[in-house]
Amino acid sequence: MLFLALRHLLSRKRQSLLTLVGILLGTAAYIAISGMMLGFQTFIIDQLINNDAHVRISAREDVITEHSLDADFFGQDALVHWLTPPAGRRDNAYILYPRAWTDRMESSPEVSAYAEQMIAQAIVSRAKVSTAARVIGVDPTKQIQVTNIQSYMTKGSFLDIGMSGNRILVGDGLLNKLGATVPETLMLSVGKGVAQSFKVVGSFHLGVKNADDTLIYGALTDIQTLNATPSRVSDIAVRLTNVEDAGSLASSWNILSQEKVQSWDQANEGIMSVFTTQDIVRNSMTISILIVAGFGIYNILSMAVNQKRREIAILRSMGYEAKDIVTLFLAQGLLLGAVGGLVGCLVGYGVCEVMARIPVANRGMGGNHMTIVFFPGIYGRGFLLAFLSAGFASFLPARAAGKLSPIEVIRGENS
Amino acid sequence: MGIELKDIKKSFGTPPTQVIRGISLNIELGEFVSFVGRSGCGKSTLLYIMSTLDEPTSGQVMIDGKEVTTLEQSELHLFRNLQMGFVFQFHHLLPELSAIENILMPAMKAKRSGERRPYAISLMEEFGLKDRLDHLPSQLSGGEQQRVAIARALVMEPKYLFADEPTGNLDSANGNGVMSLFKRVNKERRMSVIFVTHDTEFSKMATRRIEMSDGLLVS
Ligand SMILES: Nc1ncnc2c1ncn2[C@@H]1O[C@H](COP(=O)(O)OP(=O)(O)OP(=O)(O)O)[C@@H](O)[C@H]1O
Ligand SMILES: [Mg+2]
């Protein structure tokens, strides 16, 4: 029946072509939009994962509430009513037993690397200009195993920080704000301590404005000294062998400890929910295009079934069965779906190729072009969407054709 | 063997009106039978019933000793495909297919189109359509189309050929051509030919002429 189905389609060239174009556009749009949106998501996720950590363990910022001191002062069972309830925050946040964590890291097979960090808010100043900065003290050899910072360096190497010696790396946005250049000395001060001078030995550009405008990396011991918290650690950044484990691992660690453990996606919930919205928009748009194309198929097939009543009847009288007739029309819809889906994939691929060449300013390591995803799954899904919607659309007319009673038709024609 | 009808009745609609009111009839293999009668007397209805396209309201249709209502759908399809040919007043050719492809459609269903092709071509030659093999139906005259339809009915060399006013749409020359074709296949291939006609001349060409009136046999 396939060859007859093909002949039917070819005998209605214009209709078939129009329907084909509908399916093709739906598929191509799905692929192009998916490629672009997923590319954008991949880019952002890349930034989120690689610039920070798969999992971050940080000291809990303990806020004191009305009853959090009751037990310390009055014992477990006391019912306390404060005239002036206590409020405030506990002293500098740090991880109480970093050793316990590092032991756990060493024994966890999922962990590929980790780095202790001391993160402090500081004021950085050069001559009369000063601004706020987020200073991260790290062991550079450990840090470059946790993040890809090394490949975002615009000047110098991440290892130039060394283990001590007041050398720092500064985000290029921050350098600009200060009007500073690379071999230069800046003053850093943390709230209570005295200002210390640090030598800028390199700069980086992560492509995330917020980070590039505020981040400073220094050696762990230097920053601990600056912050007047020697040998304390505020965070541990962890890299996993498999990013997918981040969420579940973070959740299970979170229960085990009093520190706050967050995976990269938990930390960026807002962004992740934007992605979900994007996915919904992308899918619903594609589905609506395909519904329109599906209605096209439904229409032309319904019309064809009506026009071909006599031929259906004569085929039946020749011994063709109802299921042959169903196949005849279903095959037409599926052919349109398959060809439209296939060509749509190709067109979508072409559009993606073109989009991938669109230059986008300064994106750090991702190159200076739009990130487009060419994941085969997108193409598979695009094709399947086209094929299945065509199948659904042709199912009803095909079934109607199969149910057509040949004798009714013949009687109507030859009376 | 042959076709055996036992007290066939057929009614249509609500309230039911009887169109065939009790017909019993035997048609032997190799007979050449014409059905005649006034318009509306039930000729077509009877033809469709004896050719398994329609079902009687009551009564039995036996073909080759088998009762049609006891046959499985698939057996029935096979039977129509291999043992029966139909020719209607309108040719009902598939407009997308060439003459030869149309003729081979029954063979295609039986997956024997390769094997039947030489025979199909010889039929076309016999019917004077030798140089029309790849013409589309729209490129053929009415008479040529009807001959293609007859060739299609014959391509599987069936035992039975049913025709409902095969000449109804043709001029007398073409009509004569069709009738002599029928006569030939009946004689040369011993095919049972059963046809309905309004034309008294044509009906006389049959070896057996059955007249109907108001849902009953006259003779
Ligand atoms: N589906 C139907 N519903 C109701 N009545 C029908 C139906 N089909 C046929 N009839 C009636 O049955 C009667 C016989 O019809 P049939 O087609 O067998 O006549 P016919 O002898 O072939 O006539 P003609 O020579 O005009 O073709 C007619 O009166 C017709 O109106
Ligand atoms: Mg009739």
Per-position DSSP letters for A79-96, written without gaps between them: ----SS---EE-SS---S
Asked if the C-beta of A356 comes within 8 angstroms of chain B's C-beta atoms, the answer is no
Packing angle between helix A13-51 and helix A2-11, nearest 10 degrees? 100
Using one digit for the tens of pLDDT, what is the confidence trace for B111-142?
Answer: 999 999 999 999 899 888 889 889 999 999 98
Angle at A319 between CA B125 and CA B47, to 5 degrees: 85
ipTM of the complex model: 0.91
**Cβ(A36)–Cβ(A396) below 8 Å:** no
**Cβ(A311)–Cβ(B92) below 8 Å:** yes
Packing angle between helix A309-317 and helix A406-413, nearest 10 degrees? 110
Please give the share of chain A, as a percent, with pLDDT higher than 70. Answer: 95
Contact B86 A320 (CB under 8 A): no
Using one digit for the tens of pLDDT, what is the confidence trace for B173-191?
Answer: 888 888 988 998 899 888 9
What distance lies between CA A232 and its chain's CA centroid?
34
**Cβ(A95)–Cβ(A101) below 8 Å:** yes
Q: Phi first, then psi: give them for residue A104, nearest 5 degrees.
A: -65, -40
Structural domain boundaries of chain A? 2-48+271-414, 90-258
Counting from 1 in the atom list of ligand 1, the atom nearest the Cα of B215 is: 14
Is pTM, for the whole model, over 0.95? no
Asked if the C-beta of A413 comes within 8 angstroms of chain B's C-beta atoms, the answer is yes
Q: Is B215 in the pocket of ligand 1 (CB under 6 A)?
A: no
Q: Chains A and B: how many Cβ contacts under 8 Å?
A: 72
On whether the B2-217 domain is CATH 3.40.1350.10, my answer is: no
- Taking the C-alpha atoms of residue B189 and residue B30, their distance in angstroms, rounded to an integer, is 9
Q: Which residue of B has its CA nearest to A313?
A: B92
Q: How far is the CA of B210 from the centre of ligand 2 (A)?
A: 15
- Taking the C-alpha atoms of residue B44 and residue B139, their distance in angstroms, rounded to an integer, is 30
Residue B31, token pair as written in the block: 């007979």
Q: Which residue of B has its CA nearest to A410?
A: B88
With a CB cutoff of 8 Å and minimum separation 6, the contacts of B192 are: B2, B3, B27, B28, B29, B30, B31, B32, B33, B159, B160, B161, B186
Q: Around ion ligand 2, which residues have CB less than 5 A away?
A: B 44
pLDDT band at B206 (very low <50, low <70, confident <90, very high): very high
pLDDT band at A365 (very low <50, low <70, confident <90, very high): very low
Which residue in the set A314, A315, A319 is minimally distant from B78, CB to CB?
A319
CA terminus-to-terminus distance, chain A? 30
Q: Is B41 in the pocket of ligand 1 (CB under 6 A)?
A: yes
User: Which residue of A6, A314, A315, A413 is the best one to mutate when testing the B interface, meaning the one whose CB has the most B CBs within 10 A?
Assistant: A314
User: Which residue of A3, A307, A317, A325 is the best one to mutate when testing the B interface, meaning the one whose CB has the most B CBs within 10 A?
Assistant: A317
Residue B183, token pair as written in the block: 């006569």
Using one digit for the tens of pLDDT, what is the confidence trace for B32-68?
Answer: 999 999 999 999 999 999 999 999 999 999 998 889 8
Region for B37 from its dihedrals, namely left if φ exceeds 0, alpha if ψ lies in -120 to 50, beta otherwise: left
How far away is chain A from the Cα of B168, in angstroms, using its nearest Cα? 10
How much is the pLDDT for A182?
82
**Cβ(A169)–Cβ(A202) below 8 Å:** yes
**Burial, A70: exposed, middle or buried (Cβ in 10 Å; 0-12, 13-18, 19+)?**
middle
Structural domain boundaries of chain B? 2-217
How much is the pLDDT for B30?
92
